[in-house]
Amino acid sequence: MKLAEEIRALSNSYFEEVRAIRRHIHMYPELSFKEEKTAAYVSSTLDSYGIAYRDKIAGTGIVASIKGTQSESDKVICLRADLDALPIQEKTALEYASKNDGIMHACGHDVHTSSLLGAAKIINQYRSQFAGEIKLIFQPGEELLPGGASLLIKEGVLQHPVPEAIIGQHVMPEMPVGKVGFRPGLYMASTDELYITVKGKGGHGAMPHKLIDPVMMAAQLLVALQQVVSRWASPSIPTVLSFGKFQADGATNVIPDEVKIEGTFRTFDEAWRAKAHEKMRNFAKSFIEGMGGTIDFDIRNGYPFLKNDEVLTKFLTQEAVQYMGASNVEAMDLRTTGEDFAFYTHHVPGCFYRIGTGNIEKGITASVHNPHFSIDEDALKTGMGLMAYLAIKKI
Ligand code: NI
């Protein structure tokens, strides 16, 4: 039998086991960097498979290792899953809905982790057929700055030796179950948080000439800052600047002393990202000072942009076609959402692909980070099988 057929058959036979793992993790979600029980559950599953691992890396991180026995080789590739859930109250009526109040696996990290465990079980059976080492990274805190990936990199998970590639997957409810998506090159945006306080002098709204009105200054600043996107960003670098919070806590006739604004800045180029931060700060300062106010402008760096290595991603796309069939492998668009897998892709060649988890006929359409999010669990077959197949083909 060909490898693809064998692994498809194994994925079918391990489906119920991996589904049970996924449901357990889904029922007991934990917030970012607090994934103690989830990590213990992953460890005990690895124990039952006889797979060696190191745990408690950067808190709750686990790195497991499967070494091929074919011949001596220093070659290493990494597969990555994330462990954390979100502060969302689940509103699905699923029998395995979250039992932890206010916490939910609404971004599919339960799917990524259970799929990687299923892949581990499969890969472990093929040790005699490859040389080198396949490392399985179960990382904490994807959803919260500074991102578990950045901490694991500091702990040296991409060293001794440096892996040739790192591969990650993510659920995609907009894509039908049974399909996967790849994109070589730029894929997801860098994400920075902006916290601005515009300060003036508040007072009675009837006498603005005696005040320094922070509401008007902040409103004009919001509009003026859109020049970052329309005039300063190169048309060849996608850039987004959005503000979701504008807080002027006065009244019809009361002008407050200060206004708070919060927003997000996203782009796909590190040099431009740094330059944009500086330009925004300088521009906002002189703009507000020119009107007699003062400003605090705090920019908190989020994740870098995510780039899929061209050569690696084209290779894995071809292999995915072998495994899934050409009609089930889609090309994907750029996204301006962020993902901490991006950190890895700035150190070693990486590929972050999507697995379809939606099913319109079954009414499974809710997007990620939504209290109604769920998946067609058939996606777990792809989640474990394709990951195992790609790892064995790449090593
Ligand atoms: Ni996610």
Centre of ligand 1 to C-alpha 107, Å, is: 5
Cα 321 to averaged position of ligand 1 atoms, centre (Å): 24
Q: If you measure from the C-alpha of residue 170 to the centroid of ligand 1, how many angstroms do you get, rounded to a whole number?
A: 7
Q: What contacts 24+ positions apart, CB below 8 Å, involve 3-7?
A: 3/389, 3/392, 3/393, 4/322, 4/323, 4/389, 7/122, 7/323, 7/385, 7/388, 7/389, 7/392
217 CA → ligand 1 middle, Å: 37
> Residue 117's pLDDT is what?
98
Quote the CA–CA distance of 152 and 128 in Å, as a whole number: 29
**CA 339–ligand 1 middle distance (angstroms):** 7
Same domain for 63 and 141, yes or no, is yes
Which residues constitute the domain of residue 334? 2-189+305-394
pLDDT at 160: 87
Q: Are residues 10 and 60 in the same domain?
A: yes
Q: Label the pairing between strands 185-188 and 306-308.
A: antiparallel
Per-residue pLDDT of the chain (395 residues; tens, 9 = 90+): 699 999 999 999 999 999 999 999 999 999 999 999 999 999 999 999 999 999 999 999 999 999 999 988 999 999 999 999 999 999 999 999 999 999 999 999 999 999 999 999 999 999 999 999 999 999 999 999 999 999 999 999 999 899 999 999 999 999 999 999 999 999 999 999 999 999 999 999 999 999 999 999 999 999 999 999 999 999 999 999 999 999 999 999 999 999 999 999 999 999 999 999 999 999 999 999 999 999 999 999 999 999 999 999 999 999 999 999 999 999 999 999 999 999 999 999 999 999 999 999 999 999 999 999 999 999 999 999 999 999 999 99
**What span, in angstroms and rounded, lies between the C-alpha atoms of 388 and 7?**
8
Q: Which residue, of 257, 287, 303, is where some domain finishes?
A: 303
pLDDT at residue 1, as a whole number: 62
Do 207 and 139 lie in one domain? The reply is no
Same domain, 279 and 311: no
**Separation of CA 88 and ligand 1 centre (Å):** 14
Residues 6+ apart with CB under 8 A from 70: 128, 129, 130, 131
Shared domain check, 217 and 130: no
Do 217 and 146 reside in the same domain of the chain?
Answer: no
In this structure, are 259 and 137 located in the same domain? Answer: no
**What is the reported pLDDT for 167?**
98
Q: Which residue, of 303, 330, 347, is where some domain finishes?
A: 303
Both 180 and 103 in a single domain? yes
Angle, vertex CA 8, rays to CA 323 and CA 318, nearest 5: 10
Asked whether residue 160 falls in the same domain as residue 16, the answer is: yes
DSSP string, 98-111: --STT-B--SSHHH
Q: Write down the pLDDT at residue 71.
A: 86
User: Of 303, 336, 353, at which residue does a domain stop?
Assistant: 303
pLDDT per residue as tens digits for the range 11-40:
999 999 999 999 999 999 999 999 999 999
* CATH number of the domain to which 271 belongs: 3.30.70.360
CA of residue 171 to ligand 1 center, whole Å: 8
One domain for residues 296 and 311: no
Are 45 and 179 found together in one domain?
A: yes
| Dist CA 62 CA 85 (whole Å) | 17
Nearest-angstrom CA–CA distance, 103 and 99: 8
Question: Would you name the residues annotated as active-site residues?
Answer: 84, 142
pTM metric for this prediction: 0.94
Give CA torsion, residues 286, 291, 295, 300, to 10 deg. -60
Task: Please tell me the total count of domains within the chain.
Answer: 2
Alpha-carbon torsion (377, 382, 385, 386), positive or negative: negative
Tell me, what CATH number does 156's domain have?
Answer: 3.40.630.10
Residue 74 sits in the same domain as residue 216: no
Tokens 């009107």 belong to residue: 291
Name the burial class of residue 291, with classes exposed (0-12), middle (13-18) and buried (19+) by CB atoms within 10 angstroms of its CB.
middle
